[in-house]
Structure 1
Amino acid sequence: MGVRAKDTDDYNLSAAMQGVNQSNIFYDKEFFNWGSSMVKGDDGKYHLFYAQMPRKHGFYSWLTDGRVSRAVADSPTGPWTHVGVVLEGRGDGHWDQYTVHCHKIYKFDGKYYLYYMSTNSGDMDLTQAQLEEVRRSKWKPDNLRGMMRLNQRIGVAVADSIDGPWKRFDKPLIEPELPVANQVNNVSVTQRPDGGYLMIVRGDQPDQPKDEIIRMQAVLLANHPLGPWHMQEKPVVKDYNSEDPEVWYDEERKRYYSLYHAFGYMGMITSVDGLNWQRAKNYKVSDKSYLTTEGKKVAVRRFERPTIYLENGKPLVMTAGILMPDGDTHSLFIPLKQ
């Protein structure tokens, strides 16, 4: 008898994670550097698309003032050199009026697809005072930040070149649809072995009290990176607060893996068909800490926005957004042992 698909679930991401040094940390004095995603260019260099929020507006301004910038390096773990800003909110009259955040970059069939989250204030014109309130306040179901949280949608920008120009669209690519409710964010895409595409997004679990949020994840399928994307009925993660999914197809093991953070640790789930998910054999990947090349364990307040960079089908680097105990942030690049 042949080996059953479920027996191939032996990838141990935690054991693959190596120590980092200063060249694996990407920091900016004027912006909070956060989650990042990369592709290898035709020039042989690594091109990093990374989230930034202005320090002058505070960390929570990811909902109002986020932008995606690009950096370049000779190695997928850095050091990185900033090239320029790629996408920002387009302003009044656009669905992506405020912020560009929680993005992922992919190259499919010779084109670059930059998926991202944005939001707007609907028919309401925010004053500068109100905008500052959204930047600084914590979420409540009936405040302005709560309104803009509900308006989060997923879009995509497309380019023929890593340098752009980037074409955006008049409407979001993904709207909230059951089994997720209220809003959509945290997009991640991978190509299926049959040539189609699989997407995981995060939204809210429906039928929850107004003042409570349970984040849940759902899967969509499409035959083209631009869709149409078809929401699947069965959730990826339900009744469990987790976010920032990062999905990829493991060609060697013939199964999907998806990484997420669960507000205290990172966990990894797996699926053979992309529709039915379960915890991976090596489920817990990391607590809120990372190791240095000297073997020192560095505890952090947030260890989020994980992405896995694959080269030749193999996970090569994990990236993450790190919030340090002193409130500072940086983008982190963890080499993965092959």
Structure 2
Amino acid sequence: MTNAKLFFTLILGFIFAFSNAQITERERPAEWNKLVFGGRFMDRFLPMPDLGGKTSNTWGAKNVIPRDVNNGIEDPLWSYWGGNIRLMDDGKYHLFVCCWAENSPKGHMEWGNSNVVHTVAENPAGPYKVVSEIGKGHNPEWYITKDGKFVIYVIEGYYLADNINGPWEYKKFEFDPGDRKIIEGLSNLTFAEREDGSYLMICRGGGVWISKDGLSTWNQISDSRVYPPVDGRFEDPLIWKTNIQYHLIVNDWLGRIAWYLRSKDGVHWKVEPGEAYMPGIARHENGVVEDWFKYERIKVLQDEYGRAVQANFAVIDTIKWEDHANDNHSSKNITIPLTVGRLLTVLNKKPIDKNTMEIRVQVQAEEGFDPNTDIDLESLRFGAPEEVNFGRGCKLKNIQADGKNAILTFYGEGNGIDDDNFAAKLLGKDKNGKLLFGYSRLPGVQYIEAELSARKPGIDLAANTISVEVENFGQVKSEKATIQVFQIEGEKQVEIGRSTVPVLKPYEQIQLKMKASGKLSEVAGQKYLVVINAGKPNEVKFHVN
């Protein structure tokens, strides 16, 4: 065999192996079989609306034809990918999405040379039409800072403008990992605004970062990923914040399923059981399914309470490597409506635990929803999501009108709420048998806390002292805390010093100096562990290099 033929054979083998490597069957936990309807995030996906564009005269494998080409954005001349949607003051829906020419020689692999475009629609579901081109970039996600700046993040940079219509200036973020290892690189970033206008970001690897305003330096405040402790090939995280809590969805691209997590502060996360999404969710009212091969880059359209009312995805009809120039395959952005969680308020004043006798929950009336007449009362369960998702939890005692709102009183038995819970869940059905759910904050829970972060210790051998910089990345002042410094020696952790961190205001930093507990020595590449408030609920641990 000639060298040329051998090279060609190896390339074909690589492509075949890579293509097959895009699919694997993930074994689900056995407990997932016991989830009730509404226990999975995936249960919230609704049928896609009819937008009048159903046709078979378009590109795509037979598994996605016929389809409504008015849904989302598509064009036979362009492949689309990524992007999130917002409703603006002009009453229109704006989507910044990336695209590349379908006839590019590399096919789908031309994504590295994609451009970001500004698209607009009258309807949240589409069709979205291009109104302007922004510039080079891939996997956009956009947000608006507290000061009214428009930011379009793309891999390796961002575009900045004072107006949604530009002009746009390309810039680079600054990242400070805080002397810790960056978790699996800085790409596919996702953002959520905090109460004080600061921003929280999750990177592709699952690390947590904070910026004081969404433009200034991003600071890593974690040293391990927040994703589920499973063997997943994670990418495309999405974070969003509601009036109750933070939400995170991350995609296991190899297993073609995604995971759903919740958090009270965006830093500490709880993994929810069941799939967040997987192929097959793009269905119509008549039961027909658009069977897209892959769903990636999930984003959500939020309402004034932050609730997710619609999801949109980048989808492709086949394995990416099989999408070639001028063929029948391509990618687009689709939208799928979501069941919206109801607005709930727990009226109990005291913290809820296993001894709570009754739990009173106000359900707010909204346009198109009357809680006094529209709820299937027999179906309701309330309590810790860990209980409710499996059909357990508190049973309803009675309902009473509260003006247009309703107050549901539940027996406290079986609520399952403990110190690890920060939100309770209502789950059931409406009178038409459709999913009804909602979350409520819990009394006695501190939702906004200090977030202390430490850098690598400095060693002064002559003075036998240790110095550590500590900063508060929380939105409230910290309480006095104990800090300990350990040297890592193989499997051992040897404490070399401890001190007290004084009260720090938000974003305030301090340089602590402490006497070593023994004779110090330092070797090249020495690793340290810094622990703040060891053994307490707000304990913080950082491995620094």
Q: Which range, TM-score by smaller chain?
A: 0.7 to 0.9
Q: Which of structures 1 and 2 has the larger relative contact order (alpha carbons within 8 angstroms, sep 6+)? A: 1
Distance apart, 1:11 and its partner CA: 8.1
Q: 1:145-204 deviations in whole A, cap 9, x for unaligned? A: xxxxxxxx3x222111110011222x44448884435642111100123432100111xx
Q: Give the aligned partner of residue 78 of structure 1.
A: 126
CA gap of 1:181–1:220, structure 2 versus 1, over 3 A, is: closer
Q: Give the aligned partner of residue 123 of structure 1.
A: none
SS at match of 1:26: coil
The answer on whether the counterparts of 1:316 and 1:336 sit within 8 Å (CA) in structure 2 is: yes
Whole-angstrom CA distance in 2 between matches of 1:53 and 1:332: 17
Q: 1:1-46 deviations in whole A, cap 9, x for unaligned? A: xxxxxxxxx8853222112242324211221011121222231111
Distance apart, 1:268 and its partner CA: 1.1
Q: 1:196-233 deviations in whole A, cap 9, x for unaligned? A: 2100111xxxxxxxxxxxxx321101211102111122
175-184 or 16-25: which moved more? 175-184
Alignment of 1:105-116 (within 5 A): 105-109=142-146, 110-116=148-154
Alignment of 1:174-185 (within 5 A): 174=175, 178-180=180-182, 183-185=185-187
Percent sequence identity over matched residues? 25
Among 242, 245, 262, the residue aligned to 2:252: 262
Alignment of 1:72-221 (within 5 A): 72-88=120-136, 100-109=137-146, 110-117=148-155, 153=156, 155-169=157-171, 171-174=172-175, 178-180=180-182, 183-202=185-204, 216-221=205-210
Whole-angstrom CA distance in 1 between matches of 2:93 and 2:130: 12
* 4+ runs deviating over 6 angstroms: none
Q: Give the aligned partner of residue 135 of structure 1.
A: none
The answer on whether the counterparts of 2:95 and 2:119 sit within 8 Å (CA) in structure 1 is: yes
Whole-angstrom CA distance in 2 between matches of 1:11 and 1:107: 32
TM-score with structure 1 length normalisation?
0.72
Q: Give the aligned partner of residue 42 of structure 1.
A: 89
SS at match of 2:169: coil
The answer on whether the counterparts of 2:93 and 2:120 sit within 8 Å (CA) in structure 1 is: yes
Among 51, 57, 60, the residue aligned to 2:109: 60
- Count residues in correspondence: 264
Answer yes or no: is 1:14 the counterpart of 2:42: yes
The answer on whether the counterparts of 2:117 and 2:130 sit within 8 Å (CA) in structure 1 is: yes
The answer on whether the counterparts of 1:288 and 1:301 sit within 8 Å (CA) in structure 2 is: yes
Whole-angstrom CA distance in 2 between matches of 1:195 and 1:172: 17
Structure of greater Rg:
2
Q: Decide which structure has greater strand share.
A: 1
TM-score with structure 2 length normalisation?
0.46
CA gap of 1:276–1:41, structure 2 versus 1, over 3 A, is: same
Whole-angstrom CA distance in 1 between matches of 2:217 and 2:286: 48
Q: 1:262-314 deviations in whole A, cap 9, x for unaligned? A: 12112211222222223124x41222222123222332221100001102122
Amino acid at match of 1:108: T
Alignment of 1:223-238 (within 5 A): 223-232=212-221, 233-237=223-227
Amino acid at match of 1:284: E
The answer on whether the counterparts of 1:179 and 1:235 sit within 8 Å (CA) in structure 2 is: no
SS at match of 2:75: coil
Answer yes or no: is 1:321 the counterpart of 2:314: yes
Amino acid at match of 1:234: S
The answer on whether the counterparts of 2:73 and 2:129 sit within 8 Å (CA) in structure 1 is: no
Amino acid at match of 2:338: L
Structure 2 unmatched runs, 5+: 1-37, 51-67, 319-327, 341-545
Q: Give the aligned partner of residue 284 of structure 1.
A: 275
The answer on whether the counterparts of 1:41 and 1:162 sit within 8 Å (CA) in structure 2 is: no
Amino acid at match of 1:258: L
The answer on whether the counterparts of 1:195 and 1:223 sit within 8 Å (CA) in structure 2 is: yes
Amino acid at match of 1:61: E
Distance apart, 1:73 and its partner CA: 0.8
Amino acid at match of 2:312: T
Amino acid at match of 1:310: Q
321-330 or 177-186: which moved more? 177-186
CA gap of 1:40–1:173, structure 2 versus 1, over 3 A, is: farther
Q: 1:41-98 deviations in whole A, cap 9, x for unaligned? A: 23111111111122122111112x111111111121112122121122xxxxxxxxxx
